[in-house]
Every structure is written in C-alpha cells, then in structure tokens.
Structure 1
Amino acid sequence: MTRTPTLRGAPVGRVRAALGTRDPLPGGRGFAGRIADPPGRSGPVLVRDVLGREPIFVERDATPETDRDPPTSDRDPTAPTNWSFDRHDLDDPVSVPAGGVASAEGTERVWTLPDDGPVDPDAGQAAVDTALDDVLDDLARDGGSADGADGAGSVGESGAGDLAVAFSGGVDSGVVAAAVPNAPRYVAGFEGCHDVAAAREAAAAADRPVDLRVVEITHEELVRAARAVAHATGRRNPMDVAIAVPLYLVAEAAADDGFDRIAVGQGADELFGGYSKVVDPADDHRVDADTVRGARTETVRTLPDQLERDVLAIRAAGAEPVAPLLDDRIVDAALALPGALLSAGGERKIALRRAAAGRVPESVRTADKKAVQYGTYVSRELDRLARRAGFKRRMDDHVGRYLDELLSDD
C-alpha cells in the first residue's frame, strides 16, 4: 500500500523539534503522519497536532491494550498497513487523538493547548491584529500554502490561482475572502435560505466586483451529498451530516470548476467565542464552565472532532481545504484573550471583529451568523424528507432513523 506523503501539514524537521520541546503551536496549520526517527524514542511514531487539524487513522487493534503489553509487528500502529490518512484504507479505523503520539509502546498525549492567559486587553487585541495581518498577507501572497510537508504536495503548490473560497457572508469567511479578492466565492443553500441571501448582500457591499457562485441545493442533491458525506466521514448522525453537506457541495462545485483548493473560515467561532453558549456560561446548561474563557476553552476542545469531519468531506468532494484562521499564530493569540474580548454586552467574537475593521464592509464585520446547517436550510429539509418518508417528529430521533434507512445500503 503506497502512501505519499508520510507527513502532512508541516516539514519533518519542525515536527521533530516540536516533539522534543513539546511545543503545541510550532507554526503552520497542523500536521499528522509518521516520523521515522523521533527524538528520544526507539522507533517510529504517528503524530497528530494539538487541534487535530489533519486527520490520521490507525487500525483499532494495532496498539497495545496496556503499557505492559509487549509490542508486536501486528500491533504496531506505525506499520504501513496499520495507519493511513484515508480511513477507507483500514478495516476498523480509529483516529489518533489530537495532540497524540502513537507507537508500538502505546499512545500518549504529548501536546496540550497553552493556558497562559489572559493577557492585558490592549496587548491581546494587538496580538490578534498582528496575527491576522500576517496570516492573511501570507494567504494573499501564496494562496494559502501551509508550507508543505516533506514530499507532500498538500496545499499551495500551484499558487493562488487554483484557490476558491467558501463564503457565507459573515466575518469569518469575509476576512478570508477579502485577502484573495480574485478568488471566486461559493455559497450553498436551498432557495430563500439565510446563507445565500447574506452572501449576496456581502458581495453587493464589496468595494469591487465579486465572483459569487451559488450552489442551489435540491432534495435530490441533499440525498446524494448525504450519502457521499456519510461514506467519507463514517458518520450518519443528523448533526454531522447536516453540517458537512453544504461544505461538500461547495467544495464539489469549486472542484468541478477547476479549483484544487477551497479556503474556509473554520475555527473562528471556537477560538474567538462565537457561540451563544459562551455569552453567559454560568446560566447555560450546554457548558460546564462558568466563565467566558472557560466556555470558550470547552468549544475549542470540540475542534478535533469537527475538523476531521470537515476535512474528510471537503477532500471527498475533490478539493483541499485551506483554513487560515486555524494558523498557529492566530490560535496562540486567540487563546490568550481575556473574556472581555471574546464576548461582552451581547457581542461575540469581539477581537476578531475589531481586527476585521477596514478589511470587510461594516455590514459583514458586524453580521450575525447562523450555524451552517440552519443557515442553508439543510437541517430543515432533512426533517422534511424524514417526515415525507414516514418518520414523524413524535418519534425519537426521527431524522436519525430516516438517515439510517437512507444509508442502509451504502
């Protein structure tokens, strides 16, 4: 079984150094793969960055059950037949944990998120401003290269001309799109949905012509994409399917138009406090924390699971995701922010919105954003299809049951 590359997302030397220092944010936008000669270890290891920005899988039974189990060749996760970036290469794939290192001796968590904040508000905002400037300047210059894995061909090899942008009209995708104004912007949704309307309004507010391409979702396309997403990700629950379907369809449309990569705004809501449950966490049952920063940390910890789904869906559609807002420089600056720059007075993503001033139209900078599954009407229409198929709302998990039946032959 041939796998090229053996490491994605970062040069081998950088990851080897990060293993030695346990630096969780060594630069770039995440990494995963096999390191043949890790420092201080007797054999090769598999690695995955602290936020799980690159998926990597191992056979479920390919690691020792306890630290005392002797390693054997068939239980070594680094053996060529026991790991892959593609879950379909394996019989029973499980993810290497974010921040984890897997070897014949077992799996351990090497990298953890930094928790040095909060910093002074002025210093925190300045750090976000600088990080965003630098990251978006890089995007404008090279179209989003993640500075490549050794021998990898991950992203950025052919310049900005092969880059499209997933665009919903909000501040997250707005700042990304503004950095590459010549790149076409893609939005998906059912007729009349929020995201398509917001994208059109944002495009009309831009100070130069925008190439906005709308992917109109129909029930037929929704069913087709749901099947593709479930196959790519291994997930069949309504939430994951509804989130991934619009991403898949946008990436597929861009790939069909000849674009190899698609830039996304993923990570901004988690890093900068964009969820409603971060606003008043002490009175919100959805989080355990009672502070804004604590609630934000909880949302950041959901990123590895979300990003695995999104990356697999986009790649299955034929494009490579580019996620500038998940660059280590932005992650580092965001994690250090005080709560007052995350959410206060009903405003969310305060630091990011301030940093976006002058980059996007004011209406985009301050726009409220709906979750993609609702803003595109995908969740609504999955519910409609489920009810038409006889799965009524009075039934427990009626959409989930519908999806189970729909996907039963896949």
Structure 2
Amino acid sequence: MQGADPGTVRSAIDDRDPLPGTGGFAGERDGALVRDVLGRYPLFSEAGDRSTWSADPTDLDEPDAVPAGHRRDADGESRIWTLPNPDPYVDDERAVSEVRGAVLDSVDGVDGSPAIAFSGGVDSSILAARLDGPLYVGGFEGSHDVEAARSAAEALGREVRVVEFSHADLERAVPEIVRATGRSNPMDVQIALPLYLVAERAAADGHDRLAVGQGADELFGGYAKVAKAPDDPRVEADTVRGATREVVTSLPAQLERDVLTLRAAGVEPVAPLLHDRVVAAALRLPGRLLIDGEERKVALRRAADFLPPEVRDRDKKAVQYGSYVARELDRLARQAGFKRRMDDHVGKYVDSLLD
C-alpha cells in the first residue's frame, strides 16, 4: 500500500471516510485495489486481468488506471469515496486560522529535508520557509520562473540552485516522459518537462525526494478560469466556489502524470499541501476567501503571514510558461518543419521525437 498504513485504509473503507488523515494512498487491500478520493498515488491493473497490477504502468502490457475513490477487484469496480461538499465557513478569521493550522501541520510534519521545487510563488515559498532542503528552480535563461525564484529566495534568506534548460534537454526528455506517463499530448508534455528536468538534477545531487506545492492552485482558487466564473467557458460552474470544486476534481489525472514523471526522474514527490487536513480546510472556504477582485488564493495568502509580503502577494505563471518550456518546444517544432499553420504542430513534433 502506497502512502498509508493498511489499517488506516481498511478503516477508511469501512467508514466510507474520504479524508481519513493521510496524504493519499493506493494499493491492494483485502483482495481489492483501492485508490484515494483525489488519486494522489497512481495505480493500474492489467486490462482484462485485474489480479495483475502495479503503480508503474510500464510494468503492464495494457495498463488500466484505477479511478480515484474507487475499489476494483475481479468482480468489478465501484466508488467508495466521494469528495466532501461541506458548508462554507461563516467566520473569515476562523477560516484563515484553520487553513494556517492545516498547512503548517502538514508542511512541518514532512520527514527529513527533501529537495524543494521552487518557483518563487506563494505555494513553494511556504515549503521553502518551513523546510530545510535545497531549493531548485528550472527554466531557460531569462525565464520568469528563474528570476522570480532568485528574488523570492533572497527575500527568504535562502539560496536557490538554477537548472538551466537547453533544447537538447527537451529533445532528450520528451520520449522519457511519454514512456513513463503514456501521454504524448503537448500540454501534458509541456507541464511535465520542467518537473522532470528539475527532479533529474535533484536526483543527480543525491536527493531521493522532492517537495512540491502541487494542489494549492486547485484547492485555493489559483486559476484565472475560476476567478472568471461563470463567464469563462472552461468551467461549467456558475460560482467561484463551484468552479474551485470543479478544478479540484481534475486533480487525479494531473497527479497521475506528475507522480509518474517525478518517479521516472528518480525522486519520490512530497506534496504536503495535498494532505487530507489541508483539503478539508480548503473545501470549506467561501468564494470570497478564494478570489477577491484581482487577488487569487486569498485564504492561503492570509494564512502564510510568516512570509515576506513581497513573496506572499506575488502571482506566478503556469510552469510551462514561466519556465519558457512551452515557447521553446514550439520553437523546436517550427525549426523541425512543423509550422503553426499545421493542425497540432507541436503534437506532431512530439510524435516525431518518439519515432
């Protein structure tokens, strides 16, 4: 069983408790495969043979992912856990206090000193302020993430190790990521590339774990499409709180990609902002503590009052854009003859690298 002891998982099954106080889990219990409600650990069985399973899809001929929150055995598949939908906090001060307590308990509870993926945003700065491991940022020369990480590290009194990407790195890493994740669409590849290259450097430096701030954007209202609800066609919900819940349900697919990417690079991810206690606190936030005008992740920023204001209040770009990976992968595609006028020109370039 990945992520939790078998006794805790059995109790969660018996009680139908979706948030039993873990950082997620997946594996076999009492003859069945189970995966936590947010799918924080990947789990696959062989298509047509549910008795053959693995956390690594490359171990199987036809891997079939166990859906988050489900139980799968020889007789079939059923949902055990559903994401809670609690009433929102009424008192804003109490809400922020609950978020602060959950975040600090989770981050401070991380064992040892894992390396830290650091972009200079509020999520990774929380980790950098509370954990002792070295900070790593990756990107092309002059990229937003590298500059933001340097300035944030200086404000925190930390040093950051810069992993400078090259075109050769992208060309080499793309097939490795596709092989590990089974995904070749450009968006997944663009997101996975910076994670893979930073994790690869951390592993080369002797680290076997990498702390990441994943989940914070989904849980705390970090996306523009959430801020624009109901006017953004990318979400169906008609409120900020509903849109936040909608993007939280997208986490299983994202986390499967990210965990497999990081493991392929040689590290095990540590994601304290995805602990059950943080999830439970975030799910109770009212819309005004998620988005307030132009400010996103309101409650998380207020809870992170131990950070310097210039770090706590800064926005960040999505990793594929902040690192310039999306831009440079597009450049490589065009240089290889896949022009933008072509349909899915970057996808065709990715496929060419696999060939």
In which range does the TM-score fall when normalised by the shorter chain?
A: over 0.9
The whole-number CA distance in structure 2 between the counterparts of 1:280 and 1:286 is 10
In the other structure, the counterpart of 1:174 is: 125
In the other structure, the counterpart of 2:218 is: 270
Cα distance, 1:330 vs structure 2: 0.2
The whole-number CA distance in structure 1 between the counterparts of 2:246 and 2:103 is 23
Q: Does the aligned pair in 2 maintain the 1:292–1:343 contact within 8 Å?
A: yes
Task: Please state if 1:58 is matched with 2:45.
Answer: yes
In the other structure, the counterpart of 2:107 is: 136
Task: Please state if 1:34 is matched with 2:28.
Answer: yes
Among candidates 322, 347, 351, match of residue 400 of structure 1: 347
Unpaired runs of at least 5, structure 1: 1-6, 37-43, 63-76, 144-159
Cα distance, 1:238 vs structure 2: 0.6
The whole-number CA distance in structure 2 between the counterparts of 1:342 and 1:323 is 20
In the other structure, the counterpart of 1:387 is: 334
Q: Does the aligned pair in 1 maintain the 2:22–2:275 contact within 8 Å?
A: yes
- State the identity %: 61
The whole-number CA distance in structure 1 between the counterparts of 2:5 and 2:80 is 18
Deviations 1:83-107 (A, max 9, x none): 1011111100011000010011101
Within 5 Å, which residues of 2 pair with 1:117-196? 117-120=87-90, 121-139=92-110, 142-143=111-112, 160=113, 163-180=114-131, 182-196=132-146
Kindly name which structure, 1 or 2, has the bigger radius of gyration based on alpha carbons: 1
Cα distance, 1:376 vs structure 2: 0.4
Cα distance, 1:193 vs structure 2: 0.4
Among candidates 86, 91, 101, match of residue 71 of structure 2: 101
Within 5 Å, which residues of 2 pair with 1:180-219? 180=131, 182-206=132-156, 208=157, 210-219=158-167
In the other structure, the counterpart of 2:7 is: 13
Within 5 Å, which residues of 2 pair with 1:240-259? 240-259=188-207
Deviations 1:313-372 (A, max 9, x none): 0000111100000000000000111001000111100000001112x2211101111000
SS in 1 for 2:23: coil
The whole-number CA distance in structure 1 between the counterparts of 2:147 and 2:63 is 40
The whole-number CA distance in structure 2 between the counterparts of 1:375 and 1:398 is 21
In the other structure, the counterpart of 1:309 is: 257
Unpaired runs of at least 5, structure 2: none
In the other structure, the counterpart of 1:68 is: none
Cα distance, 1:234 vs structure 2: 0.6
Among candidates 278, 287, 311, match of residue 364 of structure 1: 311
Cα distance, 1:137 vs structure 2: 2.2
Task: Please state if 1:375 is matched with 2:322.
Answer: yes
Cα distance, 1:189 vs structure 2: 0.3
- Return the letter of the residue paired with 2:334: R
Q: Does the aligned pair in 2 maintain the 1:171–1:353 contact within 8 Å?
A: yes
Deviations 1:30-62 (A, max 9, x none): 0000012xxxxxxx1100000000000011223
Cα distance, 1:302 vs structure 2: 0.7
Task: Please state if 1:231 is matched with 2:179.
Answer: yes
SS in 1 for 2:109: helix
- Return the letter of the residue paired with 1:54: Y
Among candidates 7, 16, 19, match of residue 25 of structure 1: 19
Deviations 1:172-215 (A, max 9, x none): 000011111x3110011001100000000111112x3x231110
Q: Does the aligned pair in 1 maintain the 2:58–2:179 contact within 8 Å?
A: no
SS in 2 for 1:387: helix
Q: Does the aligned pair in 2 maintain the 1:186–1:214 contact within 8 Å?
A: yes
Q: Number of aligned residue pairs: give it.
A: 354
The whole-number CA distance in structure 2 between the counterparts of 1:309 and 1:228 is 13
In the other structure, the counterpart of 2:80 is: 110
Q: Does the aligned pair in 1 maintain the 2:219–2:248 contact within 8 Å?
A: yes
Cα distance, 1:403 vs structure 2: 0.7
In the other structure, the counterpart of 2:301 is: 353
Q: Does the aligned pair in 2 maintain the 1:183–1:211 contact within 8 Å?
A: no
Within 5 Å, which residues of 2 pair with 1:335-350? 335-350=283-298
The whole-number CA distance in structure 1 between the counterparts of 2:104 and 2:212 is 17
In the other structure, the counterpart of 1:72 is: none
Cα distance, 1:216 vs structure 2: 0.5
SS in 2 for 1:277: helix
Cα distance, 1:27 vs structure 2: 1.0
In the other structure, the counterpart of 1:331 is: 279
SS in 1 for 2:71: strand
The whole-number CA distance in structure 1 between the counterparts of 2:310 and 2:171 is 34
The whole-number CA distance in structure 2 between the counterparts of 1:186 and 1:136 is 18
Cα distance, 1:226 vs structure 2: 1.1
- Return the letter of the residue paired with 2:275: D
Q: Does the aligned pair in 2 maintain the 1:246–1:372 contact within 8 Å?
A: yes
The whole-number CA distance in structure 2 between the counterparts of 1:172 and 1:366 is 11
In the other structure, the counterpart of 2:53 is: 83
Q: Does the aligned pair in 1 maintain the 2:174–2:353 contact within 8 Å?
A: no
